[in-house]
Each structure stands twice: as C-alpha cells, then as structure tokens.
Amino acid sequence: MGQSLRIREAAELLRVSPDTVRRLVDSGAIKTTRSPGGQRLIDSAAFATYVAAQPRPAKPSPASARNRFEGIVTRVIKDGVMAQIELQAGPHHIVSLISREAADELKLKPGVVAIATVKATNVGIELPRK
C-alpha cells in the first residue's frame, strides 16, 4: 500500500463528515486496512480512483477568484514538456496544465493530496504544509 489517509482526512477531502466516510467503508465502496494500532487507513490511490468515478455536480458551488482547493489528485497525463493534473476537491473537479518538470518535482500522481490555487484563469498545484 502506498500513501494512506485516515477516515477524517478522506472526509475533509470529500467535504463530508467522517461518519459518511465510515458508511462508505462499511458498504465496501472504499477499502481500508488496519494500522498496527487498529485505525482504519484508506489507500490514497484507491481513494483517488473512487473519487474520480463519482458523478460530478452539474453546477459547482460559487467561489471567489482567489481560492485554494485542497483535494486529491485523480489523474496525471504527461508529455515531453507539459503535464495535465486533475484534482477532486469536494464537489470541485479542477484541471491544471503545469510544466512536466513541476509535476515531477512535486511527485504528483493519483492519490497525492495537493492544493489547487485558483486566480483568474490560472490554476497552480502545490502540496499542503505538514
């Protein structure tokens, strides 16, 4: 298993309560493993696959032009120079074109938690501070 998320972290990314995520886990929609201490952990890549498969709202909620959206990377497409990064942040599906070099430096891949910074028509991707 690669990176993992706690139930609370997955809930924050989906913008739902931890109980909602627990119900998804209990229904089998989201798979978990147990930590040595018994906590349920969600594989971040598998979570990204689950999130990407969910229907997107027809109309996203309004947001100001200077917002930061923390979410999970669901898809990365790279060519020689550029990279297309898709991020799901709650109901918001964000697509950003950044340099391949930047995507490689940030080690972006499905399952990585990242932040989309939106200002005017430009979307940047950065990692959250730990």
CA 92 – CA 90 distance, rounded (Å) = 5
CATH number for region 4-53: 1.10.10
CA 25 from chain centre, in angstroms, equals 17
Mean pLDDT, to the nearest integer, of 69-84?
95
pLDDT at 65: 44
Asked if the model's pLDDT at residue 108 lies above 70, the reply is yes
Average pLDDT over residues 54-74: 72
67-126: which CATH architecture? Beta Barrel (2.40)
For the entire predicted model, the pTM comes to 0.59
The token pair at 128 is: 């959250």
Nearest Cα to Cα of residue 10 among 49, 38, 44: 44
Q: List strand residue ranges (DSSP E) for the chain, in order.
A: 4-6, 32-34, 40-43, 67-78, 82-89, 92-99, 113-119, 122-126
- Give CA–CA dist 11/54, Å, rounded: 15
Q: Domain boundaries in the chain? A: 4-53, 67-126
